[in-house]
Structure 1
Amino acid sequence: MYIAPIVYAAFESLYTVKRSGLGLTAPTKVFDPLANYARALDDGAFLDSLGRVALFGVVQVPLMLGAALLLALLIDSRSARGKGFFRLSSFLPYAIPGVSAALVWSFMYSSQSSPINRLLDPVGISIPFFDGDLVLWSVANIVTWSWTGYNMIIIYAALQSIPAEVLEAAKVDGASAVRIAWSIKVPAVRGALVLTSVFSIIGSAQLYNEPAVLQPVSDGAVSSAFTPIMSAQNAVAAGNYPYGAAQSVLLAVLVGVVSFAFFKLTSRGEQE
């Protein structure tokens, strides 16, 4: 179910679609293994989408995982009250389908109906959520809201594996709660942080639902090639599946390289 579509997409990317000048005959496929890849690497819209997603990942992923780690540490604190409620309320946004969440947030962002801007009206502030420079972070806000709780649960589960004796010994030695969190708990969940980081890197590369839902109400701020997957989908919709396949293969290779490099860097830190 996974390998067959990947192999088929890689195979299709080696062909190019040729159409007659008048467009009166059916398009034909010609074997040209490098043409689609050369076109993709020279496609400004596709390259912009890669850069946009890279910027998204560099900024959004650390902020989201930092918030997830902080929530997990707070819930794991001995002085915390209502742990079950806060675990559930933090995880609840993840239980909402991404498309549904994006639809709700599109209402929150709309220039006509935004309750956020209505609340800010008395102080003369209006946030242009769909401004060209801000729309990426409007999307990032939706993703952060949806996935922070999911990552928090993974980190919180890792915190539960820390032996109670270790925490008690640190407390007896006079370590403060902040010191215990920084010196014992955070290093203990390193594996969980690496895991959630890789998941988040892959998720950032696959960004599609949120911008696709926001596109109709974004006044053109979200283009049909806003992300690499949207760009590939746009090529498929235009009847050029080989070109869309080539974009997908390039994206998969880049994600694989970044994930491998991240694993190498983190494993090197563990060895040291």
Structure 2
Amino acid sequence: MPNPVAAEPATPPATEGVPSPRRRRRRALAPYLFSAPAMLLYLLFTVIPIGYALVTSFFAQRRVGGGPLGTRSTVFVWFDNYAGVLDDPRLIGGLGRLALYGIIAVPFTLGLALLFALLLDTPGVKLRRFGRTAIFLPYAVPGVVAALMWGFMYLAGTSPFSHVTRSLGWGDIPFLEPGGIYPSLANISIWGGTGFNMLIIYTALRGIPPQLIEAARLDGAGEVQIALRIKVPMVGPALILTSIFGLLGALQLYGEPLMLKPLTNTISTTWAPLMAIYQDAFVLDNLHDAAAASIVLAVGTALVSTAVLATVRIAMKRRLR
């Protein structure tokens, strides 16, 4: 009998393993479907309000018709609201107060965050997990609660610090007086923001290759030299990020002075730009000027942040050269 010829294995079709057009469409649409809820919320609570504020800022309420029978009507005024905002002494004074506040709050917050991150990254540190949690914990306290808590510790009648100074015959500490209001407000921000910035910098420190640090130790470098010459330069992007966060937080100051306002006469209803915007919008019912001031503050914040970021990048490029 003739030997049977072995059957060759069937060649798989060329389309096997290739997803169908329907499956390819599903894969292409999946990222958009997953991100749709976030994009919808962003559209509803960010894009649309910004657009509404921008449109509102070009209108104003004007009296149409003379005499007691005149009525108020909304008219298009071009850039008159912006000219009024830029000439408003409340905004100029508020920006000056924000500058003084930021000079204290931002450097101290970033400096303490960097110091704590370097200490926690030092070999042999005990209770590292407890230290991270203890430093980060104030960030979990809501800003309003933190401001009220510190406000009662600032009041002369309830302040434990003033109680100690009175016992020593030094009198009360002027936390809420004109000379002490800026450090008092900055202290609330420093207390609440140091832990968050520390965590960002500490995470960047943990990403430094350990071989690089070990090589520096073999060359005889101490921990201080390693921190200043290796760790700090290599966490430059994290420092830039935290600097931008600190700057944005300073320009958006609102909750802390609002909570301390009932406790002192030093803080007025227009002490910060956002407080003045709130007064115009919800107390004086002047939404058009408030919208213009909001746009001016937002554009100014973006410009300042961009300028700081560009300056830091130029400085880092020159240093690398």
Could you report, residue by residue, the CA deviation over 1:195-227 in whole angstroms, capped at 9, with x for unpaired residues? Answer: 011111111111111111111111x21111111
Provide the rounded CA distance (Å) in 1 between the counterparts of 2:55 and 2:256. 30
1:142 counterpart (188, 191, 202): 188
Provide the rounded CA distance (Å) in 1 between the counterparts of 2:242 and 2:298. 19
AA at the equivalent of 2:256:
E
What TM-score comes out, normalization by structure 1 length? 0.95
Provide the rounded CA distance (Å) in 2 between the counterparts of 1:271 and 1:127. 46
Provide the rounded CA distance (Å) in 2 between the counterparts of 1:67 and 1:124. 32
Provide the rounded CA distance (Å) in 1 between the counterparts of 2:220 and 2:68. 80
Which residue number corresponds to residue 59 of structure 2? 15
2:200 counterpart (138, 154, 157): 154
Residue 169 of structure 2 is aligned to residue 169 of structure 1: no
Unaligned 5+ residue runs, structure 2?
A: 1-44
Which residue number corresponds to residue 247 of structure 2? 201
Give secondary structure in 1 for the equivalent of 2:138: helix
Aligned residues of 2:100 and 2:182 also touching (Cα < 8 A): no
2:271 counterpart (226, 230, 245): 226
Residue range with higher mean Cα deviation, 184-193 or 39-48 = 39-48
Give secondary structure in 1 for the equivalent of 2:74: strand
AA at the equivalent of 2:80:
A
Could you report, residue by residue, the CA deviation over 1:64-120 in whole angstroms, capped at 9, with x for unpaired residues? Answer: 101100000001110211000110000000000000111101110112211210011
Residue 123 of structure 2 is aligned to residue 78 of structure 1: yes
Aligned residues of 2:104 and 2:183 also touching (Cα < 8 A): no
Give secondary structure in 2 for the equivalent of 1:166: helix
Distance 1:208 1:22, change over 3 A: farther
Which residue number corresponds to residue 116 of structure 1? 161
Aligned residues of 2:204 and 2:235 also touching (Cα < 8 A): yes
C-alpha displacement at 1:59, in angstroms?
Answer: 2.7
Residue 256 of structure 2 is aligned to residue 256 of structure 1: no
C-alpha displacement at 1:123, in angstroms?
Answer: 1.8
C-alpha displacement at 1:24, in angstroms?
Answer: 8.7
Which residue number corresponds to residue 109 of structure 2? 64
Give secondary structure in 1 for the equivalent of 2:275: helix
C-alpha displacement at 1:174, in angstroms?
Answer: 0.1
Which residue number corresponds to residue 91 of structure 2? 46
2:224 counterpart (151, 170, 178): 178
Residue 35 of structure 2 is aligned to residue 35 of structure 1: no
Residue 258 of structure 2 is aligned to residue 212 of structure 1: yes
2:151 counterpart (106, 117, 126): 106
AA at the equivalent of 1:134:
G
Structure 1 moving runs of 4+ over 3 Å? 19-27
Give secondary structure in 1 for the equivalent of 2:97: helix
Give secondary structure in 2 for the equivalent of 1:152: helix
Provide the rounded CA distance (Å) in 2 between the counterparts of 1:19 and 1:75. 64
Higher RCO (C-alpha under 8 Å, 6+ residues apart): 1
Distance 1:87 1:22, change over 3 A: farther
Task: Say what the alpha-carbon RMSD is for the aligned residues.
Answer: 1.7
What TM-score comes out, normalization by structure 2 length? 0.81
Provide the rounded CA distance (Å) in 2 between the counterparts of 1:153 and 1:162. 15
Provide the rounded CA distance (Å) in 1 between the counterparts of 2:256 and 2:69. 38
Could you report, residue by residue, the CA deviation over 1:153-180 in whole angstroms, capped at 9, with x for unpaired residues? Answer: 0000000000110010000000011000
2:176 counterpart (108, 125, 130): 130
AA at the equivalent of 1:232:
I
Provide the rounded CA distance (Å) in 2 between the counterparts of 1:34 and 1:112. 49
Residue 318 of structure 2 is aligned to residue 269 of structure 1: no
Give secondary structure in 2 for the equivalent of 1:136: helix
Provide the rounded CA distance (Å) in 1 between the counterparts of 2:107 and 2:130. 25
Could you report, residue by residue, the CA deviation over 1:47-67 in whole angstroms, capped at 9, with x for unpaired residues? Answer: 100111122223320111011
In our comparison, the structure showing a higher alpha carbon Rg is 2
Structural mapping, 1:82-97, within 5 Å: 82-97=127-142
Distance 1:214 1:23, change over 3 A: farther
